Structure 1
Amino acid sequence: MTTTTLVLLVYTGFLVLASFIHLIRLDYWWVRIWDFPHLQLTALTVLGLVAWLLADQSTQWPLTIAPVGLLAASIYQGWLIRPYTPLAKKQVRAVRRKGGGSQVEENTLRLLTANVFMENTHVPDVKRLIEKHQPDVVLLLETNEAWRQQLEAIEQNYPHRLLCPLENTYGMLLYSRLPLHNPQIRFLIQDDIPSMYVQLELPSGQQIHFYGVHPMPPSPTEHYRSTERDAELLLVGKECRKHTGPIVVAGDLNDVAWSHTTRLFQRVSGLLDPRVGRGLYSTFHAHYFFLRWPLDHVFVSHHFRLKQLRRLPNCGSDHFPILVSLTYQPDPATATEEPKPEGDDLKEARDIIDRAT
């Protein structure tokens, strides 16, 4: 066996393990962290296949297992990523623009959500972004008291607010032009990790259940397991399923769109992902293009159609902001397409919540 073949075998073994280890239902960070880099793993597995073709022509059966493993891994990665490409059917349909111009505007919500990175000093850039795009609602994460004070200038344009500045990188600031009903700052799982719930009132009078979330991720510097993150998302998901009206859930979920937890959250909540059929809209890490995946999310109920979805320019954070424009245009046909629990999904959700609480 040549040195090149040995290197390729080690490279292949690592990639195959990294591609499939996340299927193990363990919540330790060193397993769950492999939920994230599937786009990167796709590129690396394809590169490995090319390397096998160029560097090794051996047909000995033990060696043929390696490229077959890479091929299986690359196909699996493609299956995970495909929904977030134009090859898939859109979960959230585009807004109907024919007629009813004023009615569309009165039923449209423009939301800007951004993890601003607490130590970020580019506050003027964030304010300019808000001024430029004029969203109806602004949700800013990782905000402390210094951020709240420096953002006082925007309060004249956003008379309705729900503010929870914290010094632990989990503060949340919600600014709204729209009236807020029943505003709540909630600590669902951990005493120092808040989430928000409000009912937004559109100009038409239609009310929207809105959730802002930012659970703690599994990582060697944050939390040794993902259970608390997963439980918070699933608690919100179970609550969403009980509502009959329109719902929006937004924030930094510290989880990727294709993970088991996020897909379980969608099935439990019944919410749709506007990225499906459109693109990845990867928001993290803003400074390293080769380590980038979709961490910041907006999920909506079947009552909405999509008017606009954009990833905005970076403002000094390690996350890109997201701007989404949603129009309340309920269609009975779309209600039948919402995700639904499968198999033991509800039992799994209960077990995760029980372990966290």
Structure 2
Amino acid sequence: MTSRDNRARRAVHWCAVAAVAVAAFAAVAHIVGPESNKLIILSSFVPLLLVIGIAGLVALAAVRAWRTLAVGVVVVLAGVSMQVPLYVRDVPRTASGDGSIRLLQANIRLGEADPEALVDLVRSRSVDVLTVEELTDSAVEDLRAAGLQDLLPVTYLVPKRSGGGGTGIYSRFPLGEAELLGNFSMSNLVTKLDLGDGRTVTLAAVHPMPPYPSPSWMWATEMEKLRTLLHERASDGDPVVVSGDFNSTYSHSRYRDILTDGFTDAGEQAGAGLVPTYPADRWYPPVIAIDRIVLKDAVVGEYERVELPGSDHYGIFATVTPDFTSAEVAR
């Protein structure tokens, strides 16, 4: 082997080591939950960073760096194992009761999404409940003109004149006890969904602030507050459905902190995988999954990403069956 070959081999080796180090960072960030803006943003891309680590393993095998490869395999497998639950369907039980809630989550980008397209989606999917973030006054009027309230006549809307702070709930079921959920930078809503026969579901439409460009501690504080309030709302024993733009991914520990005491991620329960929803308006595909649905005492059926023309987010459509038997036992 020539000296040139040796230099090339060393270069590949150290590039591969760097790639594995990237995967190691991803695994640590997934567990620790950094509060630096840059680290929070990087940790949003943990699955992509793990792919870089896998490429590093291939390179290490190509240059036959067997000992380094063995260490790299352990590191990358540790990181990958943290993402595996997203791909394994884990429905804990069969929900009691007849019928399910057909739920659509939609961030409409400062009210700019195509109202006709959104209403067509609600109609074609026979949606029962729609949660909307970045709802503006003008978007409320545009959606009304497009016929949304003919399909979902019961509403709880807190729009804003402009900006991304408005949130709304459209429903075909009666709503009760509707109010703002805590004091957040953007509107977060909670209500009771009345399914009839004395069955009620706690429904929340959420939109905590993003970790950028605001100070990271503000994002962390809102995520912790959201967890506390959602868990408090679950104390009455009703099934809980939380739908929204969480501005967080499964790789953020503060998002996963919500998934305790019986709360589960609907996508994880369905084994749907990453289901990235943002950004939706670029030449490349979406890379992070921040539009999510969280459940307690409920079982997910369908779970899929849907297009929202005019928005920078994809929507999430899911069918959710509340488990009232489990809720009764918990009371």
Please classify the TM superposition score into its range, dividing by the shorter chain length: 0.7 to 0.9
Aligned pair partner of 1:300 in 281, 285, 295: 295
Aligned pair partner of 1:214 in 207, 214, 220: 207
The 2-side partners of 1:334 and 1:58 are apart by 58
Identity of aligned residues (%): 19
The 2-side partners of 1:181 and 1:258 are apart by 34
What's the TM-score, normalizing by structure 1? Answer: 0.78
- 2:258 is paired with a residue of what secondary structure? helix
Q: Which moved more, 1:289-298 or 1:197-206?
A: 289-298
- 1:79 is paired with a residue of what secondary structure? helix
Aligned residues: 315
Partner of 2:193: 200
Q: Deviations over 1:296-333 (max 9, x none)?
A: 2212222x333432222342322221122222343449
Partner of 2:254: 261
Q: What's the offset of the Cα at 1:244?
A: 1.2
The change in CA–CA distance for 1:291 and 1:223 in structure 2 (over 3 A counts) is farther
Cα-Cα RMSD: 2.7
Amino acid across the alignment from 1:156: D
Partner of 2:78: 76
For residues 49-88 of structure 1, the aligned pairs below 5 Å read: 49-54=57-62, 56-58=63-65, 64-65=67-68, 67-86=69-88
Q: What's the offset of the Cα at 1:71?
A: 2.1
Is this contact kept in 2: 1:115–1:252, CA < 8 A?
Answer: yes
The 2-side partners of 1:58 and 1:178 are apart by 62
Is this contact kept in 1: 2:278–2:290, CA < 8 A?
Answer: yes
The 2-side partners of 1:156 and 1:132 are apart by 14
Partner of 2:21: 13
Is this contact kept in 2: 1:117–1:317, CA < 8 A?
Answer: yes
Is this contact kept in 2: 1:215–1:232, CA < 8 A?
Answer: no
The 2-side partners of 1:49 and 1:285 are apart by 29
- 1:77 is paired with a residue of what secondary structure? helix
The change in CA–CA distance for 1:24 and 1:332 in structure 2 (over 3 A counts) is closer
Partner of 1:322: 316
Is this contact kept in 2: 1:256–1:294, CA < 8 A?
Answer: yes
Aligned pair partner of 2:38 in 9, 30, 39: 30
The change in CA–CA distance for 1:26 and 1:39 in structure 2 (over 3 A counts) is closer
Is this contact kept in 1: 2:119–2:148, CA < 8 A?
Answer: yes
- 1:276 is paired with a residue of what secondary structure? helix
Query: What runs of 5+ residues in structure 2 fail to find an aligned partner?
Result: 1-6
The change in CA–CA distance for 1:58 and 1:133 in structure 2 (over 3 A counts) is closer
Is this contact kept in 1: 2:238–2:327, CA < 8 A?
Answer: no
Answering whether residue 163 of structure 2 is matched by residue 168 of structure 1, we say yes
The 1-side partners of 2:78 and 2:187 are apart by 36
Is this contact kept in 2: 1:91–1:276, CA < 8 A?
Answer: no
The 2-side partners of 1:95 and 1:316 are apart by 36
Answering whether residue 233 of structure 2 is matched by residue 247 of structure 1, we say no
Is this contact kept in 2: 1:92–1:273, CA < 8 A?
Answer: no
For residues 224-243 of structure 1, the aligned pairs below 5 Å read: 224-225=216-217, 226-243=219-236
Aligned pair partner of 2:109 in 96, 114, 117: 117
For residues 119-134 of structure 1, the aligned pairs below 5 Å read: 120-134=112-126
The 2-side partners of 1:38 and 1:18 are apart by 5
What's the TM-score, normalizing by structure 2? Answer: 0.84
Amino acid across the alignment from 2:79: Q
Q: What's the offset of the Cα at 1:80?
A: 1.3
Is this contact kept in 2: 1:19–1:41, CA < 8 A?
Answer: no
